[in-house]
Amino acid sequence: MVKSIKINEFQGSSLMLRSLTDRFQSVYVKYFLGFILLIFLNFSNKIHAQTCNCHVTFPLGNQYWSQSGIGGNGYSVDLLICVYGTLYMDVDNEKFLNCYFHMYPGSSIVIPSGKHINFTGNRFERCNNAMWNGMKVEAGGEVFLYQNTFNDAIVALDLAPNSTITVFTQNNFNRCKEGVYADKAIAKRDFLENKFYSNGMLIAPFAGQFPDFGMRLKGMVVNEVRGSYDRMMRRAINIIDNSVYVGNGL
């Protein structure tokens, strides 16, 4: 009888030890797989850089679209455009259709006051392994954005006070530290079916981080319909300074 009890106690201890071992292995495997996933995301992001061959190149410093000699009747179609510095869209009612903008580290696109620019079906991609600054619409400027993709921008779309966004529909923002920052801008229509996500970690100067915000709205009145936000970002939408935001079918 005593032997039997000792054997049972030993077996119980053995089972407990095995259970603890299995639990440890399970936790270890979970963290190990998580670590491998982070390495994969970082590696996959590094190979996203495009081969930057261009029809027109804008070097460092302040550059102006009117100097490019490209575009006819207000349309620029299927172009590969390299930007090293700050590109000012100093022409009115220009329409960019299905173009690739290859953006070098620290580069920007600016829409000045009094200009209305239409971007439809374009891709804004970084070149080399560092983020570009993004697109800024200055006070009095207007932008139309339909079915564009912004990758690897610090602030992909920066709307200054009294700037206007006439259409904001079905755009994608991927691996951007902030998708949209809008400060007292004017939205003429609903924000419709825009997607904010991250299929990898950010690169320099924020290497290893994930996006902060999909949209950051300050003093804005916005109605959003069917927006999509990735769980990898710190916060989907940040509403500050008396903004009025209505989300429908998020």
CB atoms within 10 A of CB 10: 10
Contact 165, 159 (CB under 8 A): yes
- Phi and psi at 55, nearest 5°, equal -75, -35
Per-residue tens of pLDDT for the chain, all 250 residues: 444 444 454 455 555 556 555 664 554 444 444 444 444 444 444 444 455 678 899 999 999 999 887 766 789 999 999 999 999 999 999 999 999 999 999 999 999 999 999 999 999 999 988 999 999 999 999 999 999 999 999 999 999 999 999 999 999 999 999 999 999 999 999 999 999 999 989 999 999 999 999 999 999 989 999 999 987 788 888 888 767 777 765 5
Say how far apart CA 171 and CA 247 lie, in whole Å: 17
